[in-house]
Amino acid sequence: MLSTADALATLLAAARRVDGAETVDTANALGRVLAADVVSPLDVPPMRTSAMDGYAVQAADLAQASDANGVTLPVSQRVPAGAAAEPLAAGTAARIFTGATVPPGADTIVMQEMVRLDDSRARFSQAPAEGEWITQQGADIRRDSVILAAGTRLTPQALGLAASVGCATLEVVRRVRVAVFFTGDELTMPGEPLRPGAIYNSNRFTLRALLARLDCDVTDLGIVPDRLDATRETLRRAARDHDLILTCGGVSVGEEDHVKPAVEAEGRISMWQIAMKPGKPLAFGAVRREASRLGEEAFFIGLPGNPVSSFCTFLLFVRPFILRLAGVETVKPRVYSMRADFTQKKGDRRNEFLRARVNDAGGLDVFGNQSSAVLTSTVWGDGLIDNPPDHAIQTGEIVRFIPFSELMR
């Protein structure tokens, strides 16, 4: 069995950005991945602006303002945000508001709280430092600088940044096309009667939602009967127009597990079984395409059927693989060092991923039942403890914690 690190390295080494890009409205680009750098065509701000409501002055005119009588200057103009400013006449002050253009000739803003107004004259009692409360042109962004690099997955703040330099549209990588199907004659859909020996297909809902979070173009091929011929036919159909085929169940070695032999007949298995708990029977390979504009093969990842195993292996392996197909370079989640407020007397020979929750004391508790069938643990928990093989955990020990928020970004 491969270690989790070697398995992830194998997946990421095989992944390559899908071909194709499209131009979309910036307002509709949330979650998409940039296909090209975004270069600013202008400085931001494009002019000097006031950081405060107050008065624009020349600092030299207020050099004596700290004297007993202060300095009084006539107010020569009023500059609201969005208005053009006239050059500041020497020996005068301009009433100015936050975000407004600083008049040419002014080199300082004095906050309105520091000024007394008498008719159309402003009295200053302190000498300001030159440059106070002025935001310089280009203080945030310089013209011709790259503000968002190709491969960036667009967040709400990234969309705002693109809009701040006037980008109405963005060039993004096309969506990754994923075909997904589920094997198991015992599977029943919610809403249908639950016959003896059957279970509801929870994995279909979990995986579809996780793929939606990654903004994939998903084709759900449903539940496939536990037969080799049916599995092979579905693989051939899925390979034609998809970048990735994702299956759930049927990758173990039982007599009714047909996914692995079906993939071997229609393509190849490059990796099978990972030294992790839960999720050992994860398979990776490719399925041949008969004729497709997408190339000769579609990638294949087969997830285990147990719901927690399927959930964890998706987050740890499928998510970074899909992000790399979409062109994202940085795909590893942030890992946090946190205190274990529990004891686990015996480690497993495999790399364990324990469902854990942050408690009110800032430490971690673990769910009492770590079985791969206990889906309630994934709702109760805040993330996974990455516990090395053969490692017992003592109360107070610092462990590696990966929040679900990081694994679903």
What CATH number should be reported for the domain holding residue 244? 3.40.980.10
Q: Do 297 and 319 reside in the same domain of the chain? A: yes
What CATH number should be reported for the domain holding residue 61? 2.170.190.11
Q: What's this model's pTM, rounded to 2 decimal places? A: 0.90
State residue 28's pLDDT score: 97
Asked if residue 331 is part of any domain, the answer here is no
- pLDDT tens digits along 91-130: 999 999 999 999 999 999 999 999 999 888 999 999 999 9
Asked if residue 141 is part of any domain, the answer here is no
State residue 254's pLDDT score: 54
**How far is Cα 156 from Cα 174, in angstroms, rounded to an integer?**
19
Question: Residue 304's CB: how many other CB atoms inside 10 A?
Answer: 25
Q: Do 179 and 320 reside in the same domain of the chain? A: yes
| pLDDT grade for 288, boundaries at 50, 70 and 90 | very high
* CA 114 vs CA 48, 65, 117, 169, 281: distances in Å: 21, 11, 10, 44, 71
**How far is Cα 36 from Cα 77, in angstroms, rounded to an integer?**
45
Question: Residue 151's CB: how many other CB atoms inside 10 A?
Answer: 19
Residue 252 has pLDDT above 90, yes or no: no
What CATH number should be reported for the domain holding residue 390? 2.40.340.10
Last residue of a domain, one of 325, 357, 386: 325
Give the CA radius of gyration of the chain: 30
Asked if residue 330 is part of any domain, the answer here is no
- pLDDT tens digits along 305-353: 999 999 999 999 999 999 999 999 899 999 999 999 999 999 999 999 9
Last residue of a domain, one of 325, 351, 367: 325
Last residue of a domain, one of 262, 296, 325: 325
69: which residues sit within 8 A by CB, 6+ positions away?
A: none
Residue 2 has pLDDT above 80, yes or no: yes
The predicted model gives 73-84 an average pLDDT of 96
State residue 175's pLDDT score: 97
The predicted model gives 79-96 an average pLDDT of 97
Q: Do 182 and 63 reside in the same domain of the chain? A: no
State residue 253's pLDDT score: 57
Q: Do 37 and 164 reside in the same domain of the chain? A: yes
Residue 255 has pLDDT above 60, yes or no: no
Q: Do 124 and 8 reside in the same domain of the chain? A: no
The predicted model gives 124-150 an average pLDDT of 97
Asked if residue 142 is part of any domain, the answer here is no
Asked if residue 115 is part of any domain, the answer here is yes
Amino acid at 7: A
**How far is Cα 131 from Cα 111, in angstroms, rounded to an integer?**
12
Asked if residue 145 is part of any domain, the answer here is no
Containing structural domain, residue 166:
21-44+150-173
- For residue 45, whether the previous peptide bond is cis, meaning omega lies within 30 degrees of 0, is yes
Q: Do 375 and 307 reside in the same domain of the chain? A: no
Check the CA dihedral 319-320-325-328 and report its sign. positive
**How far is Cα 47 from Cα 79, in angstroms, rounded to an integer?**
14
Cβ-in-10-Å burial (0-12, 13-18, 19+) of 240 comes to middle
State residue 66's pLDDT score: 85
Residue 251 has pLDDT above 90, yes or no: no
Question: Residue 102's CB: how many other CB atoms inside 10 A?
Answer: 25
| pLDDT grade for 57, boundaries at 50, 70 and 90 | very high
Asked if residue 140 is part of any domain, the answer here is no
DSSP 304-327: -SSHHHHHHHIIIIIHHHHHHHTT
**How far is Cα 95 from Cα 396, in angstroms, rounded to an integer?**
60
- pLDDT tens digits along 372-405: 999 999 999 999 999 999 999 999 999 999 999 9
Burial 153-180 (b: 16+ CB within 10 A, else e): bbeeebbebbeebebeebbbbbbbbbbb
Q: Do 168 and 180 reside in the same domain of the chain? A: no
Residue 118 is inside which H or E element, if any?
strand 115-118
**How far is Cα 186 from Cα 201, in angstroms, rounded to an integer?**
9
Q: Do 167 and 185 reside in the same domain of the chain? A: no
Q: Do 305 and 385 reside in the same domain of the chain? A: no
Residue 234 has pLDDT above 70, yes or no: yes
Asked if residue 144 is part of any domain, the answer here is no
Residue 294 has pLDDT above 80, yes or no: no
Half-sphere exposure of 282 (CA within 13 A, CB side): 28
Amino acid at 145: S
Q: Do 14 and 87 reside in the same domain of the chain? A: no
Above pLDDT 70, what percent of the chain? 98
What CATH number should be reported for the domain holding residue 28? 3.90.105.10
Contact of 252 with 304, CB cutoff 8 Å? yes
Residue 88 has pLDDT above 80, yes or no: yes
Q: Do 180 and 269 reside in the same domain of the chain? A: yes
Tokens representing 127 are 């000498």
Q: Do 195 and 76 reside in the same domain of the chain? A: no
The predicted model gives 210-223 an average pLDDT of 96
Indicate the number of domains in the chain.
4
